[in-house]
Amino acid sequence: MSHALRHEPWRYELELDEHGWVPLDQLLDALREQGGEWAQVGRADVEAMLASAAKQRHELSGDRIRARYGHSTPNAVVLEAGEPPARLFHGTSHAAWLRIQAEGLRPMRRQYVHLSTDAEMATEVGRRRDPEPLLLTVDAAAAVAAGHTFHRGNDRVWLTASLPASFLTLG
Ligand code: HQG
């Protein structure tokens, strides 16, 4: 589902609308086409998966579904602006930090920079790239005051287009 809704919807004959939504029926059809144990997949399975998922990666609303964050599709997904907590966190690798100091946080292969509401989560995210990740504290309040826009991904994830290094401190 994440591959279809974040990265390559066209491989599943899906077209995201400008906010990233697709009709759930179309996604279910695409999943069923994989055959085998997927042949009977239905809305109840998706609901059960969302209810038990450790991370809120997807959002189901009526007969539509979308990824809440993580998009890399060529067409930008427009998310509603929101007011983030004053302080956010980002976990990253030592190698990336060298570049981040020079050019700030950039979305790299995704559409948005991903920030976490708590240091533990950010450290966990950073550990995907470095066994001993660096924790960056983001002065989101100052970034908002300077005109940067933030979007809520889920309870623990906030998104922004890019962020100059002046809003970041190590630790
Ligand atoms: C780094 C997971 C060089 C950035 C997680 C990161 C997250 C730079 C990497 C979500 C840079 C991009 C996203 C710059 C940033 N130069 N490197 N200027 N600016 N970087 O995976 O934030 O499990 O695209 O620090 O929980 O690690 O998939 O982003 O190391 O919420 O649901 O470039 O993915 O969610 O890596 O993780 P990613 P991320 P899911």
Encode pLDDT of 23-67 as tens digits: 999 999 999 999 999 999 999 999 999 999 999 999 999 999 999
Per CATH, domain 81-170 is 3.30.420.40: no
Secondary element (H or E) of residue 63: none
Among 153, 170, 164, 149, which residue's Cα sits nearest to residue 105? 164
Summarize the confidence of residues 140-156 as an average pLDDT: 98
Per-residue model confidence as pLDDT tens digits over 69-100? 999 999 889 999 999 999 999 999 999 999 99
Are the beta carbons of 68 and 118 closer than 8 angstroms? no
In the chain, pLDDT over 90 holds for what percent of residues? 98
Assign 156 a pLDDT band (cuts: 50, 70, 90). Answer: very high
Cβ atoms of residues 59 and 65 within 8 Å: yes
Distance 163 CA to ligand 1 centre (A): 13
Residue 60 beta carbon below 6 angstroms from any ligand 1 atom: no
Residue 92 Cβ < 6 Å to ligand 1: yes
pLDDT recorded at residue 88: 98
Give the DSSP H or E segment for 81: strand 81-82
Out of 72, 79, 92, 128, give the residue to mutate to test ligand 1, the one with the largest number of ligand atoms within 8 Å of its CB.
92
- What is the rounded CA–CA span in Å between residue 155 and residue 82? 12
Q: Where are the domains of the chain?
A: 2-67, 81-170
User: Is residue 156 in contact with ligand 1, taking CB distance under 6 Å?
Assistant: no
Task: Return the CATH fold of 2-67.
Answer: Arc Repressor Mutant, subunit A (1.10.10)
User: Which amino acid residue places its CA nearest to atom 4 of ligand 1?
Assistant: 92
If you take atom 14 of ligand 1, which residue's CA is the nearest one? 100
